[in-house]
Amino acid sequence: GAVVSQHPSRVICKSGTSVKIECRSLDFQATTMFWYRQFPKQSLMLMATSNEGSKATYEQGVEKDKFLINHASLTLSTLTVASAHPEDSSFYICSARDPTGDTEAFFGQGTRLTVV
Amino acid sequence: DQQVKQNSPSLSVQEGRISILNCDYTNSMFDYFLWYKKYPAEGPTFLISISSIKDKNEDGRFTVFLNKSAKHLSLHIVPSQPGDSAVYFCAAITTSGTYKYIFGTGTRLKVLA
Protein backbone atom coordinates (compact mmCIF):
# COMPACT_ATOMS: atom_id res chain seq x y z
CA GLY A 1 0.00 0.00 0.00
CA ALA A 2 0.91 3.64 -0.28
CA VAL A 3 3.50 4.86 2.17
CA VAL A 4 4.17 8.32 3.49
CA SER A 5 7.44 8.90 5.29
CA GLN A 6 8.05 11.79 7.65
CA HIS A 7 11.39 12.90 9.01
CA PRO A 8 12.59 13.51 11.65
CA SER A 9 10.42 11.63 14.11
CA ARG A 10 11.67 13.69 17.01
CA VAL A 11 13.50 17.01 17.27
CA ILE A 12 14.54 19.25 20.12
CA CYS A 13 15.62 22.76 19.29
CA LYS A 14 16.44 25.99 21.03
CA SER A 15 13.99 28.83 21.09
CA GLY A 16 14.55 31.16 18.13
CA THR A 17 15.90 28.54 15.76
CA SER A 18 14.12 27.11 12.73
CA VAL A 19 13.19 23.48 12.22
CA LYS A 20 12.42 21.72 8.95
CA ILE A 21 10.19 18.66 8.74
CA GLU A 22 10.04 16.57 5.58
CA CYS A 23 7.15 14.56 4.25
CA ARG A 24 7.66 12.16 1.36
CA SER A 25 5.29 9.97 -0.57
CA LEU A 26 7.36 6.88 -1.28
CA ASP A 27 5.47 5.02 -3.96
CA PHE A 28 3.09 7.53 -5.45
CA GLN A 29 3.03 11.11 -6.61
CA ALA A 30 1.07 13.47 -4.43
CA THR A 31 0.04 16.81 -5.89
CA THR A 32 -1.48 17.65 -2.55
CA MET A 33 -0.24 16.98 0.94
CA PHE A 34 -1.68 18.08 4.25
CA TRP A 35 -0.03 19.20 7.44
CA TYR A 36 -1.65 18.65 10.81
CA ARG A 37 -0.80 19.52 14.36
CA GLN A 38 -1.94 17.61 17.39
CA PHE A 39 -1.94 18.95 20.92
CA PRO A 40 -2.02 16.49 23.82
CA LYS A 41 -5.37 14.74 24.12
CA GLN A 42 -6.79 16.76 21.27
CA SER A 43 -7.76 16.17 17.68
CA LEU A 44 -5.65 16.51 14.57
CA MET A 45 -5.88 20.12 13.56
CA LEU A 46 -5.40 20.82 9.86
CA MET A 47 -2.82 23.56 9.48
CA ALA A 48 -2.42 23.85 5.74
CA THR A 49 -2.78 22.19 2.37
CA SER A 50 0.46 21.90 0.46
CA ASN A 51 0.10 22.17 -3.31
CA GLU A 52 2.88 21.06 -5.64
CA GLY A 53 4.23 23.95 -7.63
CA SER A 54 2.10 26.60 -5.98
CA LYS A 55 1.51 28.33 -2.68
CA ALA A 56 0.14 26.45 0.26
CA THR A 57 -3.37 27.12 1.50
CA TYR A 58 -3.43 27.88 5.21
CA GLU A 59 -6.29 27.34 7.60
CA GLN A 60 -7.69 30.22 9.55
CA GLY A 61 -5.53 31.20 12.47
CA VAL A 62 -2.35 29.53 11.19
CA GLU A 63 0.53 31.95 10.73
CA LYS A 64 1.96 31.71 7.21
CA ASP A 65 5.21 33.37 8.22
CA LYS A 66 5.71 31.01 11.12
CA PHE A 67 4.86 27.75 9.36
CA LEU A 68 6.51 27.82 5.96
CA ILE A 69 5.44 25.15 3.52
CA ASN A 70 7.23 24.19 0.35
CA HIS A 71 6.02 21.51 -2.04
CA ALA A 72 8.77 21.53 -4.62
CA SER A 73 8.20 18.09 -6.11
CA LEU A 74 5.43 15.55 -6.47
CA THR A 75 6.89 13.43 -3.67
CA LEU A 76 8.16 15.96 -1.16
CA SER A 77 6.61 18.63 1.01
CA THR A 78 8.45 20.42 3.80
CA LEU A 79 7.18 22.31 6.80
CA THR A 80 9.58 24.79 8.37
CA VAL A 81 8.77 26.16 11.80
CA ALA A 82 10.48 29.53 11.71
CA SER A 83 11.93 31.08 14.86
CA ALA A 84 10.40 28.38 17.00
CA HIS A 85 9.14 29.14 20.49
CA PRO A 86 8.10 26.78 23.29
CA GLU A 87 4.43 27.21 22.39
CA ASP A 88 5.21 25.66 18.99
CA SER A 89 6.09 22.41 20.74
CA SER A 90 3.66 19.84 19.43
CA PHE A 91 3.19 16.73 17.34
CA TYR A 92 3.17 17.50 13.62
CA ILE A 93 1.81 15.01 11.09
CA CYS A 94 1.66 15.08 7.31
CA SER A 95 -0.62 13.14 5.05
CA ALA A 96 -1.04 12.52 1.35
CA ARG A 97 -3.46 10.74 -0.89
CA ASP A 98 -2.63 8.78 -3.99
CA PRO A 99 -4.81 10.51 -6.60
CA THR A 100 -4.81 7.35 -8.72
CA GLY A 101 -5.86 5.13 -5.82
CA ASP A 102 -8.60 4.99 -3.25
CA THR A 103 -9.90 7.89 -1.26
CA GLU A 104 -8.10 7.24 2.00
CA ALA A 105 -5.13 9.37 2.89
CA PHE A 106 -1.95 7.94 4.32
CA PHE A 107 -0.14 9.54 7.18
CA GLY A 108 3.48 9.97 8.07
CA GLN A 109 4.82 8.78 11.37
CA GLY A 110 4.63 12.23 12.89
CA THR A 111 7.29 14.55 14.30
CA ARG A 112 7.48 15.43 17.96
CA LEU A 113 8.89 18.95 18.19
CA THR A 114 10.13 20.23 21.51
CA VAL A 115 11.34 23.81 21.72
CA VAL A 116 13.40 24.58 24.80
CA ASP B 1 -16.67 25.37 14.84
CA GLN B 2 -16.19 21.61 15.20
CA GLN B 3 -17.64 20.08 12.05
CA VAL B 4 -16.88 16.52 13.12
CA LYS B 5 -17.49 15.50 16.71
CA GLN B 6 -16.81 12.43 18.77
CA ASN B 7 -18.64 13.03 22.00
CA SER B 8 -17.15 10.13 23.94
CA PRO B 9 -13.53 10.83 24.81
CA SER B 10 -13.03 7.32 26.11
CA LEU B 11 -14.58 3.87 26.08
CA SER B 12 -13.74 0.66 27.92
CA VAL B 13 -14.91 -2.71 26.64
CA GLN B 14 -14.32 -6.26 27.73
CA GLU B 15 -12.34 -8.48 25.37
CA GLY B 16 -14.63 -10.40 23.03
CA ARG B 17 -17.48 -7.90 23.33
CA ILE B 18 -18.54 -5.30 20.81
CA SER B 19 -17.00 -1.81 20.76
CA ILE B 20 -19.15 0.95 19.31
CA LEU B 21 -17.56 4.30 18.56
CA ASN B 22 -19.73 7.18 17.48
CA CYS B 23 -19.19 10.25 15.34
CA ASP B 24 -21.45 13.15 14.38
CA TYR B 25 -20.96 15.76 11.69
CA THR B 26 -22.62 19.00 10.78
CA ASN B 27 -21.54 19.71 7.21
CA SER B 28 -23.94 18.14 4.72
CA MET B 29 -21.36 18.57 1.96
CA PHE B 30 -19.25 15.75 3.38
CA ASP B 31 -19.63 12.73 1.15
CA TYR B 32 -16.95 10.35 2.35
CA PHE B 33 -16.12 9.22 5.84
CA LEU B 34 -13.18 7.34 7.27
CA TRP B 35 -12.02 5.85 10.52
CA TYR B 36 -8.40 5.94 11.60
CA LYS B 37 -6.63 4.29 14.49
CA LYS B 38 -3.79 6.02 16.25
CA TYR B 39 -1.19 4.97 18.76
CA PRO B 40 0.75 7.55 20.81
CA ALA B 41 3.57 9.27 18.94
CA GLU B 42 2.59 7.66 15.65
CA GLY B 43 0.64 8.80 12.64
CA PRO B 44 -2.94 7.54 12.17
CA THR B 45 -3.49 4.35 10.21
CA PHE B 46 -6.49 3.87 7.99
CA LEU B 47 -9.11 1.36 9.11
CA ILE B 48 -12.27 1.56 7.07
CA SER B 49 -14.29 4.05 5.08
CA ILE B 50 -17.77 4.61 3.70
CA SER B 51 -19.21 6.66 0.91
CA SER B 52 -22.30 8.74 1.56
CA ILE B 53 -24.22 6.66 -0.99
CA LYS B 54 -23.95 3.66 1.31
CA ASP B 55 -25.21 3.01 4.80
CA LYS B 56 -22.92 0.16 5.77
CA ASN B 57 -19.46 -1.10 4.98
CA GLU B 58 -17.88 -4.15 6.52
CA ASP B 59 -14.27 -5.32 6.63
CA GLY B 60 -13.54 -8.26 8.87
CA ARG B 61 -14.17 -7.30 12.48
CA PHE B 62 -14.84 -3.68 11.54
CA THR B 63 -18.17 -2.34 10.33
CA VAL B 64 -19.02 1.29 9.72
CA PHE B 65 -22.63 2.46 9.68
CA LEU B 66 -23.75 5.77 8.21
CA ASN B 67 -27.05 7.51 8.96
CA LYS B 68 -27.10 10.50 6.63
CA SER B 69 -30.37 11.93 7.88
CA ALA B 70 -28.98 12.04 11.40
CA LYS B 71 -25.50 13.03 10.22
CA HIS B 72 -24.13 10.22 12.31
CA LEU B 73 -21.72 7.38 11.76
CA SER B 74 -20.47 4.63 13.98
CA LEU B 75 -17.69 2.09 13.99
CA HIS B 76 -18.39 -1.37 15.35
CA ILE B 77 -15.57 -3.67 16.32
CA VAL B 78 -16.53 -7.22 17.09
CA PRO B 79 -15.08 -9.13 18.75
CA SER B 80 -12.90 -6.55 20.46
CA GLN B 81 -9.31 -7.52 21.16
CA PRO B 82 -6.72 -6.00 23.51
CA GLY B 83 -4.68 -4.96 20.46
CA ASP B 84 -7.56 -2.72 19.41
CA SER B 85 -6.78 -0.41 22.33
CA ALA B 86 -5.89 2.93 20.74
CA VAL B 87 -7.39 6.30 19.91
CA TYR B 88 -9.90 6.21 17.07
CA PHE B 89 -10.58 9.22 14.90
CA CYS B 90 -13.37 9.65 12.43
CA ALA B 91 -12.73 11.91 9.47
CA ALA B 92 -14.91 13.45 6.81
CA ILE B 93 -14.13 14.88 3.41
CA THR B 94 -15.81 16.45 0.44
CA THR B 95 -14.57 14.54 -2.60
CA SER B 96 -15.47 17.28 -5.03
CA GLY B 97 -13.08 19.63 -3.28
CA THR B 98 -9.47 19.37 -2.24
CA TYR B 99 -9.95 16.18 -0.20
CA LYS B 100 -9.30 18.18 2.94
CA TYR B 101 -9.76 15.80 5.84
CA ILE B 102 -11.63 17.09 8.88
CA PHE B 103 -11.06 15.00 11.97
CA GLY B 104 -13.14 14.41 15.04
CA THR B 105 -11.69 14.79 18.51
CA GLY B 106 -10.99 11.10 18.93
CA THR B 107 -12.18 8.35 21.27
CA ARG B 108 -9.73 6.40 23.36
CA LEU B 109 -10.72 2.75 23.32
CA LYS B 110 -9.45 0.41 25.97
CA VAL B 111 -10.15 -3.29 25.56
CA LEU B 112 -9.80 -5.13 28.82
CA ALA B 113 -8.44 -8.66 28.82
pLDDT per residue as tens, chain B (113 positions): 679 999 999 999 999 999 999 999 999 999 999 999 999 888 899 999 999 999 999 999 999 999 999 999 999 999 999 999 999 999 999 887 777 888 999 999 999 99
Collapsing DSSP to helix, strand or coil, B90 comes out as strand
pLDDT tens for A102-113 read 778 899 999 999
List the single residue in A with minimal CA-CA distance to B106.
Answer: A43
List the single residue in B with minimal CA-CA distance to A105.
Answer: B46
Report the mean per-residue pLDDT for chain B: 94
The values of phi and psi at residue A86, to 5°, are -55, -30
pLDDT tens for B75-94 read 999 999 999 999 999 999 98
Is any Cβ of chain A less than 8 angstroms from the Cβ of B86? no
The verdict on a CB contact (< 8 Å) between A110 and B89 is no
The verdict on a CB contact (< 8 Å) between B98 and A110 is no
Q: Please state the rounded mean pLDDT for residues A1-20.
A: 92
pLDDT at A2: 62
The verdict on a CB contact (< 8 Å) between B43 and A105 is no
Per the CB < 8 A criterion, the answer to whether A96 and A75 are in contact is: no
DSSP 8-state class, residue A87:
G
From the CA of B50, how many Å to the nearest CA of chain A?
A: 10
* Residue A26 Cα distances to A29, B38, B42, B106, angstroms: 8, 21, 18, 28
Collapsing DSSP to helix, strand or coil, A102 comes out as coil
The verdict on a CB contact (< 8 Å) between A103 and B49 is yes
* Residue B20 Cα distances to B26, B76, B107, angstroms: 20, 5, 10
pLDDT tens for A42-101 read 788 999 999 888 889 999 999 999 999 999 889 999 999 999 999 999 999 999 988 887
From the CA of B20, how many Å to the nearest CA of chain A?
A: 19
Return d(Cα A8, Cα A48) in angstroms, integer.
19
pLDDT at B61: 97
* Chain B residues with CB-CB distance to A105 below 8 A: 34, 46, 99, 101
Return d(Cα A94, Cα A74) in angstroms, integer.
14
